[in-house]
Structure 1
Amino acid sequence: MKKVYFKTFGCRTNQFDTQVMMSRLGEYELARNEEEADVIVVNSCTVTNGADSGVRGYINQVGRINGEAKVLLTGCGAHTKGESLFESGKVHGVFGHSEKEKITKFLEKSDRFYEIGDLEHVDTTVVEQFVGKSRAFIKIQEGCDFRCSYCIIPYVRGDARSLDETLILEQIRRLAANGFGEFILTGTNVGSYGKERGSSIAKLLKRMSQIRGVRRIRIGSLEPIQITDEFKELLDEPWMAKHLHIALQHTSDEMLKLMNRRNDFMSDLKLFEELASHGYALGTDFIVGHPGEGEDQWQEAIERVKMLPLTHIHAFSYSKRDGTPSAVMKPQVPGNIAKIRHRELTQIVKAKNFAFRRSLNEPLEILIESKKDGRYFGLDQYFNKISIESGRDLKGEWLYLEKFEAAEEMNRGSF
């Protein structure tokens, strides 16, 4: 039986798309590594120029590791670098997001092909298993109507559009029946779900919660303006993970305008304080070193970060993405300055996270995901990692842990 290996770059949406392809392999078998594969499918990311370089470097590497394997390119990078990689002979075939459900056809193609598809497709595949996962990712929408200055994604995934609710709920029913209890909603702009269908993410969450076996629901990322009154009514529901990731991107209003964002700091602060009052851990994205971020803007931003009840941060130094307005903005921030700022920001939020974990006085509800060096690792309801010592096999189990130590790097306990 022929074997296929999937290499996935980038976000949770790409991880879900890979699972869609894995569920439609036909006569093919999953390979454990590149060396034993007959076909290597690269599900690419193109969020920055660096992401493109990483994909290109991997394709060059697998050509040396297994020169006999056919290499197929899909994902966001298919729209930006697919043509050049195809014309240079680096890949056997290229197919876009909208074509991934035809994976069996592409695996069998002996002739080279370039089928980029369109940016209007909506998935119809129901995924029943997630290979090697304890939690299930549920893609609920595709595309984005925001046009942030630094972002190429709307141009490679299209405008926001929602997956059919019936299919989403059916997928959750099947996954719950197969033993999954935690579900992570993902998409390009998750909070926009339902806007063209007369629905909303809040309505979807309510219907999901009524499915037997659904124990915890996490939401990938929301925009501040998507935390509506309807959504806030769900904050105290027991099935809601007590962690929300809300994309701010910056805390200087001047920088937010340059980034063409729809949020402002005082509104963000009010929102975060309200959510924290319900006991939520709160994370955000933050771009450090975007063009125009002078020392004054940075000092204002960092003082404002200190005011926010943050517990998690996905901070990254700005990386130019050709074809976006930010790519031609001046002045650029030197890389060494951005690195210093990145470190300052992450240290502040790391201290906030440690203080949050030390302040907890209620049991942790933990889903164990992995084992390493004799210890088990999982995530609690606050999206904090915990290391657990146990003589039992805990992989995939749910635990209530009343006693634990809030160590600096992560929580620790025994069971």
Structure 2
Amino acid sequence: MKKVFFKTFGCRTNIYDTQVMMANLSDFEVTEVENEAQIIVVNSCTVTNGADTGVRSYINHATKEGKKVIIAGCGAISKGESLFSQNKVFGVMGHSEKAHINTLLKQESPFYEIGDLTSLDETIVHEYTGKTKAFIKIQEGCNFRCSYCIIPYVRGNARSQDEGKIIEQVQKLALNGYGEFVLTGTNIGSYGKDKGSSLGKLVQRLGAIRGVRRIRLGSIEPVQIDESFREILSEPWLERHLHVALQHTSERMLELMRRRNNVKRDLELFHELSERGFALGTDFITGHPGESDEIWQEAYTTLEQFPLTHLHAFTYSKRDGTPSSTMKPEVKGDVAKERLKSIETLVESKNMTFRQKKSEIPLNVLVEEHKDDHYIGYDQFFNKVIIKSNRDLLKEWVTIENYEIQQEANYAHF
């Protein structure tokens, strides 16, 4: 039986998509050791030109090693045709073709099956290879058209997964011992808009399933936090951390980025959520075209007012085919990096202050990794906890009452 290795790039949605492909393989053996595989499926990311470069570099390496390479994921849509025509890959498989992977991999001749951008996964995932928590894809696609983003063009418009299928999947995974569930998708806050429902209503139903201990949400937009979402904010199974995407804190930059959020309303929302006890993360792009020194200073001063604890920030990277890629004036790379570093330092300080203020609260930790002489997990505020213990804690839930707060993590003995 031939062995298949999956190389996953990019976001949590890709992690889920890889599991869907694994679940649909019946005539092959999945291996976690790359060198053992005859076939490599590259679940690719195409969010930036740099992501494309990383995928292409890996494909070149795998091909030189004599592997049969199949490209799936978002890069199959944006770059699959050129890679296939140049004989860089044996096969190209679009998002809608994941359920057919077993048949495609059995083909003796090269294939190009790009599929469509309107489908939803039918596969129910029961296990997650090498993971302590389960990822649940609740929707696909995005109706936003932010000027810097290619994803709607490679994932399609927003469409929600059937609620019954989501509930069935969570029930089965809970029976298999999973207690933490991460809801993912291209734009999860749009869930239910096409079905007369909402993210808040869905999460409420998932929280009632026996065995569900914690629900973690992927990135949501400020405008998507509606009344049905506010109704779940006090539920004990909702992680006390929310990731609300800002992208910037200058009104002018939000206009250039074609964003739907508003700085004043964003600040009010973050303070509301902070007062409810939540740790708060966000996305932020520095160096987008048009980010003048004046705009940057305004944005930084405003960002200081946000009660942030986590940051997923990056310097702007041009993505061909997006409106931002042709905008002027461009910002020099070293300037963008300097701005990035300044907001990273700011939010690191805010995170430390948050942990110090919450120091009397016991930490509920799912232990995810054993490394050297310690265990690593994340608490209900999505902060890293490093634990020393003589017990085997891997994949266990532990409550930590006494711990030391340091810059990079909280430390404890258990």
TM-score bracket, normalised by the shorter chain, equals over 0.9
| Number of residues of Structure 1 aligned to a counterpart in Structure 2 | 413
CA distance in structure 2 between the aligned counterparts of 1:151 and 1:293, rounded to whole angstroms: 17
CA contact (8 A) 1:5 1:39 kept: yes
* 1:397 Cα deviation after fit: 0.4
* 1:31 Cα deviation after fit: 1.9
Q: Deviations over 1:331-374 (max 9, x none)?
A: 00010101110100100000000111111121000000001011
* 1:62 Cα deviation after fit: 1.0
The 5 A counterparts of 1:6-405 are 6-64=6-64, 66-67=65-66, 69-360=67-358, 361-405=360-404
**Structure 1 segments unaligned to the other structure (5+ residues):** none
* 1:71 Cα deviation after fit: 0.4
3-state DSSP class of the match of 1:94?
Answer: strand
Identity over the aligned pairs, expressed in percent? 59
CA contact (8 A) 1:273 1:309 kept: yes
- CA RMSD of superposed structures (Å): 0.6
CA distance in structure 1 between the aligned counterparts of 2:404 and 2:203, rounded to whole angstroms: 33
CA distance in structure 2 between the aligned counterparts of 1:106 and 1:376, rounded to whole angstroms: 40
**Structure 2 segments unaligned to the other structure (5+ residues):** none
CA distance in structure 2 between the aligned counterparts of 1:104 and 1:79, rounded to whole angstroms: 20
* 1:24 Cα deviation after fit: 1.3
Q: Deviations over 1:297-350 (max 9, x none)?
A: 110111111100000000000000000000000000010101110100100000
TM-score normalized by the length of structure 1: 0.99
CA contact (8 A) 1:142 1:157 kept: yes
* 1:237 Cα deviation after fit: 0.7
- Counterpart of 1:151, as a letter, is C
CA distance in structure 2 between the aligned counterparts of 1:406 and 1:189, rounded to whole angstroms: 34
Task: Write out the 4+ residue segments of structure 1 that deviate beyond 6 Å after TM superposition.
Answer: none
3-state DSSP class of the match of 2:301?
Answer: helix
Q: Deviations over 1:130-150 (max 9, x none)?
A: 000011000000000000000
Match of 1:5 in 2: 5
- Counterpart of 1:393, as a letter, is D
3-state DSSP class of the match of 1:307?
Answer: coil
* 1:32 Cα deviation after fit: 2.6
* 1:34 Cα deviation after fit: 2.5
- Counterpart of 1:218, as a letter, is R
- Counterpart of 2:409, as a letter, is M
* 1:27 Cα deviation after fit: 2.0
CA distance in structure 2 between the aligned counterparts of 1:91 and 1:344, rounded to whole angstroms: 41
CA distance in structure 2 between the aligned counterparts of 1:145 and 1:283, rounded to whole angstroms: 23
* 1:107 Cα deviation after fit: 1.2
CA distance in structure 1 between the aligned counterparts of 2:398 and 2:408, rounded to whole angstroms: 20
CA contact (8 A) 1:43 1:75 kept: yes
TM-score normalized by the length of structure 2: 0.99
CA contact (8 A) 1:34 1:62 kept: no
CA distance in structure 2 between the aligned counterparts of 1:218 and 1:18, rounded to whole angstroms: 20
